[in-house]
Every structure is written in C-alpha cells, then in structure tokens.
C-alpha cells in the first residue's frame, strides 16, 4: 500500500491515510443537483485520442455484459472525512482501456460526468487493478444520490477524482485540469501523499 504505515489506525483496525478522520455511514457529497436518469438516452463513451481514432459507446445493457468484479475500498474526501469498508461491484477501469486502447502519446484521461463535471487522471490511475466503473454498492444498485447508474471509483485518490454519474472517458495527450483541479485542488490527488491542493504542486507540474 502506498504510504506504508504513515496513517492512523481506527478502533476497528482500519488504516486511515494521513490527515483523515473516520466518519460513520456514507455521507452524500457532490456539487450541484442530482441529475435525472433517462435510461433510453444513457450511454458511456470513450473519446479523444483513441488508437483507432474512433469514438466508442456502450448502453447500459451492453455495459452489463462486460466482465465485472468486486473491490472493497474506502472513500476519502480531500477535506478530511473517510468512510471505510465500501464493497463496490462494476467493470474494471483497465478493461475499458483494453477494449479501446489509447493512442501511444496519451498520458491523461478526463473522466466526464453529468453537467460537464470533469476530473483529470493519469493513465496509470485508471490502469490500477482497484479502479472500477461501479454500478453497485454493498450488493445493491447505486442510488441516484450516490451516482447511479455509474460512478468511477479510484481508491488511492481523493473522492473528487471519482465522479458520480459518469458519462465518458476522454483520452488526452497533455495534462488538462478538471472541475476541482481548476478550483485549487491537486492535479493528482494521492491520498497517501496528502496531495490535496494545487499549491502543493511543484512549479513544473510534478506532484
């Protein structure tokens, strides 16, 4: 685990990243209203610098036919709260990159959600074995306020890097900041390195 034993242990034995505190339950946190879900109009797209130059789409039924897996992971907010023991079920993010390979020069991905919300991630964050396009939580379909029908889960990054109501992945050939990154949050957001805010970045853009 990145960061080793730098965190603190809860009474239950969970290891919290540095600067985080435990909260009970699953607090609802997002910017803006909960979007209305229209299944007949919904699809997931992969766009941008794909290896074949094409845009690819999956509707809900097509997405449900892809291999799925379960990941148990915690949720960490950059402002400090952590909730633990979430069981996620969905499509491995790395599978989508295998189905639609990025062009060789791609290093970044913008994860787009409803209302134009975007979160930029490094390609290596999505190829992590624990990164997931989640459809279920604790065995049940996601609820609207928690991101149904699809949300991105990247356990080693702060929550603003995992958009609810995910709609597309755009392959990028250069770094571009997303919604919260443009508003002062760190471009990488590694929870074990406490990469919370943009003022912690080096002038050359490195963490």
Q: What is the mean pLDDT, run by run of 10 residues, along the chain of 207 residues?
A: 56 79 78 81 97 97 97 95 95 98 97 95 96 97 94 97 97 95 96 95 61
pTM attached to this predicted model: 0.89
pLDDT confidence of residue 33: 79
Structural contact between residues 48 and 168, judged by C-beta atoms closer than 8 angstroms: no
CA distances, 205 to each of 174, 182, 188 (Å): 12, 14, 10
Please tell me the distance from the alpha carbon of residue 50 to that of residue 162, in angstroms, as a whole number: 21
Q: Strand locations in 36-178, DSSP E?
A: 44-48, 56-58, 69-76, 81-92, 108-113, 118-122, 132-137, 140-141, 151-153, 166-172
pLDDT confidence of residue 24: 84
Structural contact between residues 195 and 188, judged by C-beta atoms closer than 8 angstroms: yes
């Amino acid at each position: 685990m990145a960061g080793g034993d730098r965190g603190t242990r809860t009474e239950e034995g969970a290891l919290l990243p540095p600067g985080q505190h435990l909260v009970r339950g699953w607090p609802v946190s997002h910017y803006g209203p909960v979007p209305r879900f229209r299944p007949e109009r919904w699809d997931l797209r992969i766009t941008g610098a794909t290896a074949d130059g094409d845009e690819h789409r999956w509707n809900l039924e097509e997405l449900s036919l892809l291999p799925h897996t379960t990941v148990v992971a915690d949720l960490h907010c950059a402002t400090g709260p952590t909730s633990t023991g979430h069981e996620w079920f969905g499509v491995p993010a790395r599978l989508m990159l295998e189905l639609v390979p990025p062009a060789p020069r791609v290093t970044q991905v913008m994860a787009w959600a409803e209302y134009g919300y975007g979160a930029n991630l490094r390609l290596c964050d999505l190829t992590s074995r624990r990164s997931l396009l989640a459809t279920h939580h604790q065995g049940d379909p996601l609820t609207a306020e928690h991101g149904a029908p699809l949300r991105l889960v990247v356990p080693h990054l702060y929550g603003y890097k995992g958009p609810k109501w995910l709609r597309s992945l755009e392959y990028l050939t250069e770094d571009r900041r997303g919604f919260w990154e443009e508003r002062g949050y760190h471009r990488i957001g590694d929870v074990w390195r406490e990469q919370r805010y943009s003022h912690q970045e080096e002038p050359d853009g490195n963490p």
